[in-house]
Structure 1
Amino acid sequence: MLIGKLKNVVGAGVYGTLLGMSGVYADTATLGEAEVAAVDAGAFKLTPSYYVTTHEKDATDLNLRANHGPHAIWLGHYQRGSEFEQTRTGYEYTLQIPFGQLVPSLQLASHGFAGGSINAQIGDSIYALLGFGRTNTRDYYNLNFDPNDSVVYGLGTRLLPKSTLSLFTVKDNRLHTGQMVTHAVWRMLPDDHQRWTVDLSSKHGRATADDESVSGKALSLTYDYRDIFFRLARDRKVNFTAEDQSRLSVGLRF
């Protein structure tokens, strides 16, 4: 996977199937959050993003996601000046099972990248979050910012008034990088048309098995209103590199 500068290293990612659960879950929906359906009713979601990273050229990403019942597909393109670009696509299926959900997904990208994951939410008012991801370790710029070849484990609850709270960890279990990211995600739905999402995370680990270990924190704030949303994020030691990154996303559902 490609992280930060062009290196063939493990990626990173929870801004996807868990919120965004682990690595290859890029552009997926959120497990364990039935309330999100009221805001995410649109069949399509278009998300342009802008990335500002220290000691790197600014980058852009454009992602289109389509939903039909339990099926979801997406198509995206990432561009960082003339240094690197990548087009990706993926598919996800949400399977309702007794006491929860099971969500397998697949992703392909240019430069020969392929990956897959399977995630589960078990329980209702209090639920467990479990996930497993694997890739072919080809070059990939990770837009989820959590380990892709990883396991995910955590807990969540819907017992809070008009909100949900989850705590989960994404941990590399394959490439010996020691990468681990722990997220606390709070979502509040004050009414049928609005949603606030706060994702606070802490990371430590190495970009590759031969690099020095780094530690950093990240904060992401998302506001949804009807068919539009805005997201701001600040990420220290993004993708386990020495660099810091700020991100802005604006989305439209239709």
Structure 2
Amino acid sequence: MRALKWMEIGSLVLVMATASACSQAQELRPDTAQFGSNPISYKLTPSYYFSSDNNDAVDLNLRAVLGEHTVWVGVYHDKENFQQSRTGYEYRHDFGLVRPVFSAQLASGGFLGGSVTAEIGGSNFAIVGFGRTNLKDYFNLNFDPNDAITLGIGSRALPKTELSLFHIWDDRLDTKQHVTHAVVRYKPNDAERWTADASYKHGRTGNGDNVQGLALTVTYDIGDYFARIARDQHANFSAASQNRISLGRRF
């Protein structure tokens, strides 16, 4: 297990070094990541999950954004040798008072899922969402129910600040899983941003046990780099709690 862990960490370092080299190459050849006149921006996120049941895991995710379109690929691997590759597509559009986001996910093992989420309003807005999957095995990296409804409110009325409060609950599988999020995003200047996401969950695990727990995720962005740490009790409505760390770069 120790050898596997060091191999995983080494892989993270290698991927980040490769991303850095690609970024430098793009600076020398600025048309490398072009589609027409619009640049494609990338975000690489290596993450490591420390689990209380010792089933630690590594995750690598690469996102590419071109205007209203986002595509991502990733791979998850844990110490119990569960591995899953995934890809997805997201389309967002601003109609003024309605700003929808359509998303689809595909993962190895036959998983297929999709969702639509929208903001409705101006600087103060409502949040609504709906998601469905084909119920195939999937390691859920958003740590909320996927077959669910989302309702909430948000505001950008305060300077440099975005606030949101929303509730997600399973409406399909009778797990009674509910998660409430309070999110604060603060951008003190053009180079930095802080994001804090505090949440409370309650519901049944896959074994039918009732659990409840708290989670807190803090992300700091500076320039092209960002770091994220999280503490999550009963992660993905399991018996295990997790500490998660992500270090990433945009290029």
Q: Which residue of the other structure, out of 92, 95, 98, is the alignment partner of 1:94?
A: 92
Corresponding residue number in structure 2 for 1:73: 71
Rounded to whole Å, the distance in 1 between the matches of 2:40 and 2:247 is 15
Larger % of helix: which? 2
Letter matched to residue 223 of structure 1: Y
- 1:184 pairs with 2:182: yes
Q: Give the structure 2 partner of residue 223 of structure 1.
A: 220
Is 1:64 the counterpart of 2:62 in the alignment?
yes
What percent identity do the matched residue pairs reach?
Answer: 54
Which residue type is aligned with residue 152 of structure 2?
G
Distance 2:45 2:150 in 1: 25
Indicate the larger mover: 211-220 or 93-102: 93-102
Equivalent of 2:243 in 230, 241, 246:
246
Picking from 208, 212, 227, the partner of 1:211 is 208
Task: Give SS of 2:236's match.
Answer: helix
Matched, 1:110 2:76: no
Computed over aligned residues only, the root mean square deviation of the Cα atoms, in angstroms, reads: 1.2
Tell me how far apart the structure 1 counterparts of residues 50 and 40 of structure 2 sit (CA, whole Å).
29
| 1:194 aligns with one of 192, 195, 211 | 192
TM-score by length of 2: 0.83
The SS at the match of 1:239 is helix
- Is the CA contact 1:42–1:253 (under 8 Å) kept in the aligned structure 2? no
**1:121-147 C-alpha deviation (Å, 9 max, x unpaired):** 111210111100000010001111000
Measured after TM superposition, the shift of residue 82 of structure 1 is 4.6
5+ residue gaps, structure 2 = 1-38
Q: Structure 1: 5+ residue runs without aligned partners?
A: 1-40
- Post-superposition shift, 1:46? 0.2
With structure 1 as the length reference, what TM-score do the two structures score?
Answer: 0.82
Residue 242 of structure 1, CA deviation:
1.3
Task: Give per-residue Cα distances to partners, 1:128-175, cap 9 Å, x unaligned.
Answer: 111000000100011110000000000001122311110001110000
Moved over 4 A (4+): none
Alignment check: 8 A CA contact 2:205 2:239 kept: no
Structure 1 residues 113 and 135, CA, compared in 2 at 3 Å: closer, same or farther?
same
Partner of 2:4: none
Tell me how far apart the structure 1 counterparts of residues 174 and 131 of structure 2 sit (CA, whole Å): 15
| Secondary structure of the structure 1 residue equivalent to 2:158 | coil
Aligned residues, how many? 213
